Amino acid sequence: MTTRLFDLNGRIALVSGASRGIGEAIARLLAEQGAHVIVSSRKLEGCQPVADAIREAGGSAEAHACNVGDMGDIQALFAHIRNAHGRLDICINNGATNPYFGHVLDTDLGAFQKTVDVNIRGYFFMSIEAGKLMREQGKGAIVNTASVNALQPGPLQGIYSITKAAVVNMTQVFAKECGPLGIRCNALLPGLTKTKFAGALFSNEDIYQAAIEKIPLQRHAEPEEMAGAVLYLVSDAASYTNGECIVVDGGLTI
């Protein structure tokens, strides 16, 4: 007997921060499984090539610019989704920021506010708008990309780590309150992954080597190695998985 637990045909999926890295890998995998993917990032020229590549590979996708730190952009994005599709089955909150890399005592207000606006407020209101659409159809799946920094604060990544810890609690809040509506909410906590976003960690040899030494698999991850966990969380295979934080870190946090 064959199983179609991971079949996403007919589902509408939104992936923020999908112009590169983990977000791009997630968008491509969801499309491979049959979802129509709305590829989103701050700038259209960043996400359009990803949507084009998905279509060229035989998938279904569109690109839509949205800075999740801008409330107007969020409202415009969901107005488009409602008008164009009338539903949303999957929402992946992956677009994040980390403008400051340094000692916590030197964090300035600008860096603090930008990180909070995108990583907390952005995820929160993206989830609210997605949840409103999902409530109308009686089901849906939200996945938040957090970080292992939510469990163990990363070196010189104070405010970023704090916001990612907030994302974990936010995930549980939405899981508890929206579960009765048929909406599941879970989180992915990636470990050290080779992305442009994590460039500061890879460019600092001391920090990179210290991290690798703590990882039982003795290597960093590639973005594609994060996408499979997300596919599970949004698929029928995870129909009873709600409020969970799946850590994908090669064993770092053991």
pLDDT of residue 2: 60
Can you name the residues that pair with 91 across neighbouring β-strands? 14, 142
pLDDT of residue 227: 97
pLDDT of residue 182 exceeding 70, the answer is yes
pLDDT of residue 203: 72
Q: What is the mean pLDDT of the chain?
A: 95
Least confident stretch, 105-119, 164-178, 181-195, 201-215: 201-215
pLDDT of residue 1 exceeding 60, the answer is no
Q: Is 100 a catalytic residue?
A: no
DSSP 235: S
Among candidate residues 123, 160, 208, 240, the one labeled active-site is: 160
Which band of pLDDT confidence, cut at 50, 70 and 90, is reported for residue 164? very high
pLDDT of residue 43 exceeding 90, the answer is yes
**Where would I find the beta strands (DSSP E) of the chain?**
12-15, 36-41, 60-65, 90-93, 140-145, 183-190, 245-248
Q: What is the pLDDT of residues 48-67, one digit of tens each?
A: 999 999 999 999 999 999 99
Residues 140-163, mean pLDDT to the nearest whole number = 96
Which band of pLDDT confidence, cut at 50, 70 and 90, is reported for residue 139? very high
pTM: 0.95
pLDDT of residue 32 exceeding 80, the answer is yes
pLDDT of residue 11 exceeding 90, the answer is yes
Q: Which residues of 23-59 are buried (b: 16+ CB within 10 A; e: fewer)?
A: bbbbbbbbbbbbbbbbbbbbeeebbbebbebbeeeeb
The pairing of strands 90-93 and 12-15 is parallel
Q: Which CATH class is domain 12-248?
A: alpha beta
pLDDT of residue 131 exceeding 70, the answer is yes
